[in-house]
């Protein structure tokens, strides 16, 4: 990127290899933080924020404002921690819009799981004790873990997510303030006004941009991406697996039916742009979370690529296609059913089966668990054991909700207890639905073909790729050149050649 600045060459590599503790939370070493902010190093954006004692604001390390003296700054792992310490967001660099802290910088798996659940809206209407119970720990212990890792509490993190969304809706949409309050998850307009005024030192109406035209109900939000972002891979991957009538991909635009409405996500100007009708305003937080999962926007490509480039078995693929993402599933139940249908069949066959399922049991969209719990799923042309597995999954979701499918350990454990579901499916779901960056379907035909190994040897050879084996799988699928791969094709609207992915 033209004009991009970096701190000392070894700084980011040192941070990737060994995140260091500072003031009890996971942060780069103080000297690295100092050099990163002075250089405005883009690679560290999202890894920490800078609190400025003299102004009372906190900034991203790439803030264009003049850098304050080192004795006047304090470093925080998250925006939530800075806000909880009494700092307010900078109006120039907008730190409340930063990408979430990458999971690899968090040392506690419990905290990683909790953050994922918070990002998926778990604390909207639920107390922290419910989150702790879901994770199998006490509430006080969970709070201690959050303080040690992130410098804030689960409640503080959820609050930051809520106020950040509200600020975006105030700044970037025409929604009425009552609608903003509802969309951001506030119980009342008064509560929204009070918190907004306390954080930003002015009421929300004063923050609204004057050039906005009143009355428009269309919502357009810019979603920054950490670079490099391999858009060719993501859009071609999603396009080949799109369900007719539910979703489609054309060039660098993904469209999805959501209820009776449609949303679109397009790649332009170095970011993703989400467009949705005002009728979906109440579900803005949910739509944003789903888009982040589908496009893997929380990935840290610099850290991932730097690690995989150290392995001779993966480095050639990374050099050819940096910035690969692991495209996620829009809906947990939908993505898991798709994985079951895709067992031991091609991508095209799995898509055809999913389309039949939609046509037979759906009502304008993918069938709900209620529609499949007792349905004759085998009628779409799948073996009885596979049809029974779909029914059992639907019943599990009806009994427990779908939150367990978004948690890698719980997803694996539950799926492997269902007859007709094997390790490949459990790992595939952990990779694309539960978003485990280290998920690895060792028995995948294409992976074994590329590596020329059986499942056991594949696991051994993939060991150096940890904790990002899921990204290595994407590279292997992209690089697969066996007979089952489609010819190299052009992404519509571009001149870039894209190898058709081999996985399901």
For 86-116, the DSSP string reads T-EE-TTT-GGGSPPPPGGG---HHHHHHHH
Which has the closest alpha carbon to 32: 63, 75, 90?
75
> 471: number of CA atoms within 13 Å, CB side?
30
- Asked if 458 and 427 count as a contact pair (C-beta separation under 8 A), the reply is no
* 391 vs 382: CA distance, rounded Å: 13
Across-strand partners of 273? 222, 266
The domain segmentation of the chain, as residue ranges, is: 9-103, 106-207, 332-479
Predicted pLDDT of residue 105? 73
* 420 vs 343: CA distance, rounded Å: 10
CATH superfamily membership of 9-103: DNA Methylphosphotriester Repair Domain (3.40.10.10)
* Active-site option among 59, 63, 90, 93: 59
The secondary structure element, H or E, covering residue 427 is helix 423-432
Predicted pLDDT of residue 390? 97
Neighbour-count burial of 471, counting CB atoms closer than 10 A to its CB (0-12 exposed, 13-18 middle, 19+ buried): buried
Predicted pLDDT of residue 206? 83
DSSP annotation of 328 reads: -
* 38 vs 6: CA distance, rounded Å: 9
* 396 vs 332: CA distance, rounded Å: 13
* 47 vs 384: CA distance, rounded Å: 48
* 404 vs 408: CA distance, rounded Å: 8
Write the CATH number of the domain with boundaries 106-207: 1.10.10.60
For the entire predicted model, the pTM comes to 0.82
504 Cβ neighbours under 8 A, 6+ residues apart: 339, 342, 345, 346, 347, 350, 428
Predicted pLDDT of residue 120? 78
3-class SS at 371?
Answer: helix
491 Cβ neighbours under 8 A, 6+ residues apart: 232, 235, 236, 251, 252, 498
* Active-site option among 45, 331, 438, 444: 444
CATH 1.10.340.30 fits 332-479, yes or no: yes
What does the chain come to in residues?
504
Edge-to-edge strand ranges of the sheet holding 219-224: 219-224, 271-276, 261-268, 253-258, 247-250
Find the radius of gyration of the CA atoms of the chain. 23
CA–centroid distance for 338 within its chain: 19
59 is an active site residue: yes
Predicted pLDDT of residue 4? 44
* Per-residue tens of pLDDT for the chain, all 504 residues: 344 444 544 455 555 544 433 334 567 788 999 999 999 988 888 889 999 999 999 999 999 999 999 999 999 988 999 999 999 999 889 887 766 767 777 878 899 889 988 887 888 878 999 999 989 999 999 999 999 888 899 999 999 999 999 998 998 888 889 989 988 988 889 999 999 999 988 888 887 754 454 555 789 999 989 889 999 999 999 999 998 889 999 999 999 999 889 999 999 998 999 999 988 988 898 999 999 999 999 898 988 999 999 988 899 999 999 999 999 999 999 999 999 999 988 899 999 999 999 999 998 889 999 999 999 999 999 999 999 999 999 999 999 999 899 989 999 999 999 999 999 999 999 999 999 999 999 999 889 988 888 888 999 999 999 999 999 999 999 987 433 433 333 333 333 333 333 445
444 is an active site residue: yes
* 328 vs 348: CA distance, rounded Å: 18
DSSP annotation of 45 reads: B
* 162 vs 407: CA distance, rounded Å: 22
């Amino acid at each position: 990127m033209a004009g991009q600045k970096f701190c000392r060459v070894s700084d980011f590599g040192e941070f990737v290899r060994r995140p260091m503790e500072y003031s009890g939370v996971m942060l780069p070493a103080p000297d690295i933080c100092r050099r990163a902010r002075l250089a405005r190093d883009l690679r560290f954006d999202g890894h920490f924020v800078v609190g400025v004692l003299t102004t009372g604001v906190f900034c991203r390390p790439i803030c264009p404002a003049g850098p304050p003296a080192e004795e006047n700054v304090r470093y925080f792992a998250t925006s939530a921690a800075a806000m909880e310490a009494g700092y307010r967001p900078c109006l120039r660099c907008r730190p409340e819009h930063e990408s979430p802290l990458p999971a690899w910088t968090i040392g506690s798996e419990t905290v990683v799981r909790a953050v994922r659940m918070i990002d998926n809206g778990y604390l909207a209407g639920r107390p922290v004790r419910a989150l702790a119970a879901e994770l199998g720990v006490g509430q006080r212990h969970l709070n201690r873990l959050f303080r040690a890792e992130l410098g804030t509490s689960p409640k503080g993190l959820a609050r930051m997510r809520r106020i950040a969304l509200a600020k975006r809706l105030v700044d970037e949409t025409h929604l009425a303030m009552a609608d903003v309050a509802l969309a951001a998850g506030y119980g009342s307009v008064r509560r929204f006004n009070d918190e907004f005024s306390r954080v930003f030192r002015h009421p929300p109406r004063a923050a609204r941009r004057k050039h906005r035209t009143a009355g428009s109900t269309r919502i357009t939000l810019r979603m920054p991406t950490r670079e490099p972002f391999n858009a060719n891979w993501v859009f071609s991957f999603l396009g080949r697996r799109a369900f007719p009538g539910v979703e489609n991909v054309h060039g660098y635009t993904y469209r999805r039916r959501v209820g009776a409405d449609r949303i679109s996500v397009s790649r332009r100007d170095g970011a993703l742009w989400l467009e949705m009708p005002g009728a979906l305003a109440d579900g803005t937080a949910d739509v944003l979370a789903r888009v982040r999962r589908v496009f893997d926007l929380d990935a840290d490509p610099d850290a991932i690529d730097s690690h995989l480039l150290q392995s001779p078995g993966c480095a050639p693929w990374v050099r050819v296609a940096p910035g690969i993402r692991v495209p996620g599933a829009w809906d947990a139940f939908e993505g898991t059913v798709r994985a079951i249908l895709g067992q031991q069949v091609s991508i095209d066959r799995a898509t055809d089966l999913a389309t039949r399922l939609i046509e037979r049991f759906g009502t304008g969209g993918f069938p709900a668990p209620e529609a499949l719990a007792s349905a004759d799923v085998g009628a779409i042309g799948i073996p009885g054991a596979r049809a029974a597995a779909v029914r059992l999954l639907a019943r599990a979701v009806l009994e427990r909700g779908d939150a367990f499918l978004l948690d890698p350990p719980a997803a694996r454990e539950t799926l492997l207890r269902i007859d007709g579901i094997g390790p490949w499916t459990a790992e595939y779901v952990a990779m694309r639905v539960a978003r485990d960056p280290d998920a690895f379907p060792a028995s995948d035909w294409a992976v074994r073909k590329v590596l020329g190994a059986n499942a056991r040897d594949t696991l051994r050879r993939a060991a150096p790729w940890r904790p990002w084996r899921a990204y290595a799988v994407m590279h292997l699928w992209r690089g697969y050149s066996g007979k089952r791969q489609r010819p190299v094709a052009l992404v519509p609207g571009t001149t870039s050649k894209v190898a058709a992915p081999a996985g399901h």
